[in-house]
Amino acid sequence: MDLWQTVLAELKTQTTRATFDTWLADTAAVRNNDTLTVFCASAFAADWLESRLLARIQRVVAAVAGQSLDVRFAINKFPRPSRPIPTKAGDVFVEIITLPTEPFLKVSKYILWFWQPLLGNVAFGTYLLLRSRDHYLDKFWGKRHRLNVELIAAIMQVNRQAVTGVQRTRGGVKRWIPGAFDAINTHQVGKITSTRRGRGGLLYHARILNTLPLLTPTQVAALPPPVQEHHAGYLQKFDVDRVAWEQLTMPNLIHGL
């Protein structure tokens, strides 16, 4: 184990897990004579370590090296390796548990933060509601189910047309007002179809995607600016290859599921 790895192992016992994981875990260092240069992921991280932990780091370095070294901080000479873009993120799972509330729907932060504003609240809530009917952990698409539109509208506390969409005529011009089903189909997180049943109206069926992947640049561009900024922070935090991600030209990554 080299000098800095030994130092990190000792610092891990002297700091909280949050402090170590946030500020120290991704650092690297190079010794040049009596100087140890610690490379950090950002200028902010370098400033934080210098102002908060410099004295402690110097003590540990001296103990490990057997002499005092001049500890300095620099920015990211050794960047972390990029992780591949996750096209099959496994963001939504349904687990059968032995409780009266089964099944239990477990949702990742990513889809709450980014897929929800992309779809819109009603469409996103409808997606989760339909997704909860499937019990699969290992299949990307659930079974085909017949939908009870009135029940969905009642649960979502909206009118039927907000779920199905509706055609309006104004000034002799017909215009389709999209609903939650349209958003689900447009963004390909589900496949909702309708068939006419004589004079009884339409019958709706759906298959819902169990897994939602990372958004593409095209999708992120449709989000509000504060959410776009938050998404950029997500890419950095989880080491998604930003250059490769920015080169994605397809409208979504669902084609790979």
- DSSP 8-state assignment for residue 33: T
pLDDT of residue 90 exceeding 70 = no
- Whether 207 contacts 133, CB under 8 Å: no
pLDDT for res 167: 86
- Roughly how many angstroms between the first and final C-alpha of the chain, as a whole number? 41
Per the omega criterion (within 30 degrees of 0), is the bond before 103 cis?
yes
Q: Give the pairing type, strands 166-170 and 145-146.
A: unpaired
Top-confidence range, 23-32, 146-155, 205-214: 146-155
Cβ-based neighbour number of residue 162 at 10 Å: 20
**Mean pLDDT, the chain, integer:** 82
Q: How confident is the model at residue 255 (pLDDT cuts 50, 70, 90)?
A: low
Q: Could you read off the pLDDT of 190-232 as tens digits, one per residue?
A: 999 999 876 768 899 999 988 788 899 999 999 999 999 888 8
**93 forms bridges with which residues in the sheet?**
106
Q: How confident is the model at residue 135 (pLDDT cuts 50, 70, 90)?
A: low
Place of tokens 């390909």: 188
**Nearest partner of 85 among 198, 230, 247, 222, judged by Cα:** 247
Out of 52-56, 112-116, 233-237, least confident range: 233-237
- Residues whose CB falls within 8 Å of the CB of residue 96, separated by 6 or more in sequence, listed in order: 102, 103, 104, 135
Q: How confident is the model at residue 88 (pLDDT cuts 50, 70, 90)?
A: very low
pLDDT for res 141: 80
All domains of the chain, ordered by start, with CATH? 3-75 (3.30.300.180), 92-256 (no CATH)
- DSSP 8-state assignment for residue 255: G
Share of the chain above pLDDT 90, in %: 41
Q: What is the token pair recorded at 243?
A: 């250059």
- pTM over 0.85? The answer is no
Cβ-based neighbour number of residue 138 at 10 Å: 6
The larger pLDDT score, comparing residue 233 to residue 117, is at 117
Chain CA centroid to CA 211, Å = 12
Out of 19-23, 101-105, 165-169, least confident range: 101-105
Q: What is the token pair recorded at 143?
A: 């079974």
- DSSP 8-state assignment for residue 112: I
Share of the chain above pLDDT 70, in %: 83
Out of 48-57, 73-82, 92-101, least confident range: 92-101
Q: How confident is the model at residue 189 (pLDDT cuts 50, 70, 90)?
A: very high
- Residue 75: its H or E element: strand 70-75
Measured between alpha carbons, how far is 84 from 81 in angstroms, rounded to an integer? 10
Long-range contacts of 251-254 (CB under 8 A, 24+ apart): 251/216, 251/218, 251/219, 252/187, 252/188, 252/213, 252/215, 252/216, 252/218, 252/219, 253/85, 253/87, 253/213, 253/214, 253/215, 253/216, 254/188, 254/189, 254/209, 254/213
pLDDT for res 18: 79
- Whether 101 contacts 40, CB under 8 Å: no
Chain CA centroid to CA 96, Å = 24
pLDDT for res 77: 47
Query: What is the number of alpha carbons within 13 Å of residue 253 lying toward its C-beta?
Result: 18
